[in-house]
Amino acid sequence: MHDEVKAQLLDRAEMSMTDLESGLAQLYQGSIDYADIYLQSSHHESWVLEDGIVKSGSFSIDRGLGVRAVEGEKTGFAYADDISTAALKQTAAAARGIAAAGQQKTVQALTATAAPSLYLPDNPLSAWKETQKIDILNAVDRHAKKQDPRISEVTVSLTAVYEHILVVATDGTLATDIRPLVRLNCSVLATQNGRRERGSAGGGGRFTYDYFAQRNERGQPRHFAFAEEAVRQALVNLEAEEAPAGKMPVVLGPGWPGVLLHEAVGHGLEGDFNRKGSSAFAGKMGQQVASKGVTVIDDGTLENRRGSLSVDDEGTPSQHNVLIEDGRLVGYMQDKLNARLMGMPATGNGRRESFAHLPMPRMTNTYMLGGEHSPDEIIGSVKNGIYAPYFAGGQVDITSGKFVFSASEAYLIENGKITRPIKGATLIGNGPASMQQISMIGNDLALDTGIGVCGKDGQSVPVGVGQPTLKLDAMTVGGTG
Amino acid sequence: MSGQSNDQRKLLQADMQQAQEAVQEALAFAKSLGASAAECGLSQSRGLSVDSRLGEVETVEFNQDGSLGITVYRGHCKGAAATADLKPDAVKAAVSKANEIARFTSEDPYSGLADKALMADDYPELGLYFDANMDPEYAIEQTKRCEQAALDQDPRIVNSDGANYSSHAGFRVYGNSHGFIGSYMSSRQSLSCVLIGKEGDVMERDYAYTLARNPDLLQSPQQVAAAAVEATVSRLGARSLDTCKVPVLFHSDVAHGLFGHLVAAISGGSLYRKSSYLLDRLGTRVLPDWLTISEDPHVQGGLASSAFDHEGVRTEPREIVTNGELNTYLLTSYAARKMGMQPTGHAGGIHNWYVQHSGLDLDALCKKMGRGLLVTELMGQGVNIVTGDYSRGAAGFWVENGEIQYPVSEVTIAGNLDHMLQNLVAVGSDIDPRHGIQTGSVLVEQMSIAGN
């Protein structure tokens, strides 16, 4: 257990582990099967540059506790934005109200979860002086503007979250985590002959802001790389023509287009939807659900990644979970409740937005393993189709399997060559069917730069995605041409 | 109402009183730190949310959320901070932090409070609070009744994603260093049901919900169930379409979204960033000349009613679009100063829009369309406010000879917002009352449908 977590969450509230044990004992009575207490403090800051000046900065602290009691499939949940013994007693009484009072049961002895830390416990808010934060914003602004005279209206934002969590449960779980998370984003407007287009790029992960000043694999300081990428996208879009409409072959670029996997299969393989039989993938365990060669993984153990967690929000260490292996469905993502109800192990995917939200099965970093084809070979195989290297986001209806994702940068492929840029368009497909349409897998697996936010039932959590260049033989492209 | 509810109102009133004091103290503390101006907003909400599924309670959630946000100005430099903990020490810490941040941000001549003359000093009481039932047993019964009615109604409903009842009540306080302080209480309840139907191997999911501030205006559990069943069952057997260009009828369930894009395009933030397809279009045609959109912030009990905006600026009834011409932008004081205009009381969003209708119900609109796509669901983001380019996933029904023929899914609809909105053919009288933008179904002249 981190001493710093104890100091931040318990000592400051003049609470001790004994108080948490009493809380669990108060919850664990009669027909209650499981209960947990989640303590969290979260420091957040955000700085925004616009019109060449640092216009605003904001800071917030959220501290609180969430208490959950489970009986069968039934969950009672209460929370308070205050960490104190009084708040704990009050929320515990409310949460356990779902079941009749009964005999007190013995809580398992609390044992600290041993999970290697996947990120350093450094506080990104305090690791840099305010003047350093201002300097990097200004540097990105200047760098973006000097790329091209058509660039104006540069917006740069810098945000950091520093979180401490502690979770105890009646099954003996005692886990803590310290989670830093930073993000830098640059958005620009390009203007030419009265036409205006925006471009935007950014990234981050579980680091301090040092990450942005460091050089990337291509030897460029990362903050400059984001500025150049935003400019490049805006300028490409200035030239974009109407996108075609209809079914055609689609080649997706590596990295962020992994949004495809997140929407087409990821959500459909979350335990809750499969327990309830509401997922298009329900009951398909062991079956061929994707083309041969397709292996999809959800991995919370990648060091410093945006979607990674040393332990999930139920105290389960995160894992490398294979979801689809060579096209066959082999695994779901589970939290404790759904794992227990389905008779499966928890997989470290129990996540919650904050103490004020219930945990549920969520993705971490979801990606597809690379294949054997070079990207050129894949594009060369398409007579008429589109190449889409960048997306704005997506959505899925897990029951029908229908999903969309919107390209923000795309090109026509004509006779095996990338020719003209086309306007952003929404692509629509059916998850299970699209997975069978994958005909070529690139050898260039890449993960995204650290920008993903996943929403489910009104809760947002940071996630990662990745994939190699991919060819789908047919997808519906929603252009106007 | 019962004595318990009276207590609820009194409790909330007492908390709101305390919150006003906390806001005043925060403003006073900011001043003592040397701030030249400050503003502070505080909102709190309490309630519960209950889910039942297949006849059993799934979750009982007790909500209690609140946050105080303080913005401190040192000349034209600005800093902001927020805290959920409202104890005096925590509030002081937040104010100090905001003050500290303002030492590092740049001089921005456009920043600051809205003008004192614009403050809503005498604001009307809008009746946004109603005593609401927050008893978990009552909530459980509502959800179970709703879901059971749905499951009993049609054998094609094979599964359920459950029914939810939520009831929340709270208040908002806003004050600034002009001496303005305003506050109001509000409440809202909802009941929803999500069902799964099956035909062959294909499952479809849909839902229905009712939402109101006044609990007496909620639909009954049976009405919600019937609407959810109808929505779900009617989707079964959906197919895609051949790629084509046809008229598109946006059902009132989704039509408010079209005007939501208009909100984004005429909001100051998009305009001063030159990131709107409606840049420099004030006074020009943005809708057909038979269409007017009016806004009334002062509707008693209205879902989007407010007497003052998030800067304390008095709100006023106005026409947003008059006979197709754009009458106003939506400006905060910051955007107004940047653009050399007056604030419009839209900090924090719009207030009860009413889209004038053509007197046709949904059937009549289908007849008017003749052959085209009735859209009941939209998916994905796919809307570019900078260019007006629009491309989204859609589901709905194919209409031929003015009659619904079969359900449609896995298609996209695409066009350009400016062209779509200027060429609206009709707006229906089937108004959806559950939104801040009240509109009936909307018939768009032509869009590109991508399918097979």
Chain A residues with CB-CB distance to B240 below 8 A: 476
Find out whether B120 and B314 touch, Cβ atoms under 8 Å.
yes
Stretch B54-66: mean pLDDT: 94
Closest by CA to A236, choosing from A264, A292, A197, A208, is A197
Contacts of A376 (CB under 8 A, 6+ apart): none
**With contacts defined as CB-CB under 8 Å, which chain B residues touch A276?**
53, 159, 161
Query: Phi, psi (5° rounding) for residue A10?
Result: -100, -55
Contact A240, A158 (CB under 8 A): no
Q: Which of A14, A41, A61, A134 to mutate to test the interface with B (most CBs of B within 10 A)?
A: A61
The backbone torsions φ and ψ at residue B126, rounded to the nearest 5 degrees and listed phi first, read: -105, 5
Residue A409 region by backbone torsions, left for phi larger than 0, else alpha for psi between -120 and 50, else beta: beta
Rounded Cα distance, A130 and B101, in Å: 8
In chain B, the residue whose alpha carbon lies closest to the alpha carbon of A234 is B386
CA distance A115 to chain B (A): 30
Q: What pLDDT is attached to residue A311?
A: 98
Beta pairing partners, A332: none
Query: Minimal CA–CA distance to B287: which of B255, B250, B322?
Result: B322
Residue of B nearest to A237 (CA): B387
DSSP character for B339? H
Position A86 pLDDT exceeds 90: yes
Amino acid (one-letter) located at B187: S
Q: Do B159 and A189 touch (CB under 8 A)?
A: no
DSSP state letter for A264: I
Q: How far apart are CA A418 and CA B129, in angstroms?
A: 59
Closest CA to B339 of B260, B265, B280: B280
Distances (CA, A) of A293 to A159, A249, A396, B112, B304: 39, 19, 24, 59, 52
Residue B3, pLDDT score: 42
Q: Would residue A439 be called left, alpha or beta, if left means φ above 0 and alpha means ψ between -120 and 50 degrees?
A: alpha
Report how far apart the first and last C-alpha atoms of chain A are (Å, whole number).
Answer: 59
Q: Which residue has the tokens 């409740």?
A: A337
d(CA B408, CA B386): 30
Residue B6: predicted pLDDT = 65
DSSP string, A426-481: EEEEEHHHHHHTEEEEBS--EE--S-EEEEETTEEEEEEEEE--EEEEEEEEE---
Phi, psi (rounded to 5 degrees) for B300: -60, 125
* pLDDT confidence of residue B1: 36
Per residue in B5-50, pLDDT (tens digit) is: 568 899 999 999 999 999 999 999 999 999 999 999 999 999 999 9
- Tell me the mean pLDDT in the region B99-125: 96
pLDDT tens digits, B210-220 = 999 999 999 99
CB contact under 8 A, B161 and A278: yes
A1-37 per-position pLDDT tens digit: 688 999 999 999 999 999 999 999 999 999 999 999 9
Partner-chain residue, chosen from B275, B409, B415, that has the shortest CB–CB distance to A402: B409
Instruction: State whether A426 and B412 contact (CB < 8 Å).
Output: yes
Q: Which residues are A158's β-sheet partners?
A: A47, A184
Do the beta carbons of residue A97 and residue B136 sit within 8 Å? Answer: yes
Mind giving me the DSSP string for A176-197? EEEEEEEEEEEEEEEEETTEEE
Assess contact for A429 and A475: CB atoms under 8 A. yes
- Run of H or E including A200: strand A195-205
Cα gap B306→B253, rounded to integer Å: 24
Distance CA B248, CA B418 (A): 15
Give the C-alpha separation, B144 to B231, whole Å.
19
User: Cβ of A81 and B85 within 8 Å?
Assistant: yes
Cβ contact B199:B370 at 8 Å: no
Provide the shortest C-alpha distance from residue A323 to chain B (in Å): 22
pLDDT number for residue A26: 94
Q: Which residue of B has its CA nearest to A61?
A: B83
The pLDDT value given to residue A98: 85
Q: Does B376 touch chain A (CB under 8 A)?
A: no
DSSP B199-268: ETTEEEEEEEEEEESSGGGSPPHHHHHHHHHHHHHTTTT-B---SEEEEEEE-HHHHHHHHHHHHHHTBH
pLDDT higher than 70, residue B2: no
Which of B58, B97, B202 is opposite residue A75, by nearest beta carbon?
B58
Kindly determine whether residue A56 and residue B105, on different chains, have CB atoms separated by under 8 Å.
yes
Question: Residue B376 pairs with which residues in a beta bridge?
Answer: none
Question: Cα(A348)–Cα(B52) distance, rounded to whole angstroms?
Answer: 26
CB contact under 8 A, A246 and B101: no
pLDDT single digits (tens) A272-323: 999 999 999 999 999 999 999 999 999 999 999 999 999 999 999 999 999 9
**Cβ pair A397:B205 closer than 8 A:** yes
Beta strands in A267-401 (DSSP E): 296-299, 320-325, 328-329, 350-351, 360-361, 365-368, 384-396
Taking an 8 Å cut-off on Cβ atoms, the answer to whether B62 and A395 are in contact is no
For A400, the closest of B204, B389, B448 (CB atoms) is B204
Query: Cα B257 to the chain's mean position, in Å?
Result: 10
CA torsion angle A248 A254 A259 A265 (round to 10): 80
Contact residues on chain B for A392, CB-CB shorter than 8 A:
381-382
Contact state of B382 with A425 under an 8 Å Cβ cutoff = yes
Phi, psi of A255 (to 5 degrees): 90, -120
Q: Are A164 and A121 in contact (CB under 8 A)?
A: no
Mutant choice from B381, B409, B445 vs A, greatest count of A C-beta within 10 A = B381
Restricting to B residues 49-88, those with a Cβ less than 8 Å away from any Cβ of A are: 53, 56-67, 78-85
Tell me the nearest-neighbour CA distance from B103 into chain A, angstroms. Answer: 10
Q: How far is CA A387 from CA A253, A382, A411, A424, in A?
A: 7, 10, 5, 11
Q: How confident is the model at residue A481, as a pLDDT? A: 81
Query: Chain A: residue nearest B47 by CA?
Result: A78
CA distance B404 to B370: 10
Given an 8 Å threshold on Cβ–Cβ distance, is B60 in contact with A77?
Answer: yes
CB contact under 8 A, A57 and B80: yes
CB atoms within 10 A of CB B430: 19
Task: Indicate the length of chain B as a whole number.
Answer: 452
Contacts of A278 in chain B (CB under 8 A): 159, 161, 196, 203, 205
Give the distance from residue B122's alpha carbon to the nearest chain A alpha carbon, in angstroms.
31
The neighbour count for residue A176, using CB atoms within 10 Å, is: 24
B450/A97 touch (CB, cutoff 8 Å), yes or no? no
**B57–A400 C-beta distance less than 8 A:** no
Mean pLDDT in chain B?
Answer: 96
pLDDT of residue B373: 98
Whole-model pTM: value is 0.95
Both tokens assigned to B232 = 């779900």
B positions 271-290 inside 8 Å of A (CB): 273-275, 279
Alpha-carbon dihedral angle through residues B103, B104, B110, B114, given to the nearest 10 degrees: -50
Nearest 10 degrees: CA dihedral of A332, A336, A341, A345? 50
pLDDT digits over A213-261, tens only? 999 989 999 999 999 999 999 999 999 999 999 999 999 999 999 999 9
Contacts of B59 in chain A (CB under 8 A): 74-77, 358
Asked if A78 lies within 8 A of B62 by C-beta distance, the reply is: yes
Instruction: Please name the member of A51, A54, A277 whose beta carbon is closest to the beta carbon of B105.
Output: A54
* Contact map slice: B 219-248 vs A, CB within 8 A: 238, 240, 243
Q: Using CA atoms, how far apart are residues B336 and A468, in angstroms rounded to an integer?
A: 47
- Burial call B63-81: b when 16+ CB within 10 Å, e when fewer: bbbbbbbbbbbbebbbbbb
Closest CB to B380 among A95, A195, A394? A394
CB contact under 8 A, B392 and A478: yes
CB of B207 closer than 8 Å to CB of A403: no
Report the phi/psi class of residue A30: left, alpha or beta, with left for phi > 0 and alpha for psi in -120 to 50.
left
Report whether A58 contacts B79 (CB < 8 A): yes
- Give me the interface pTM, i.e. the ipTM: 0.94
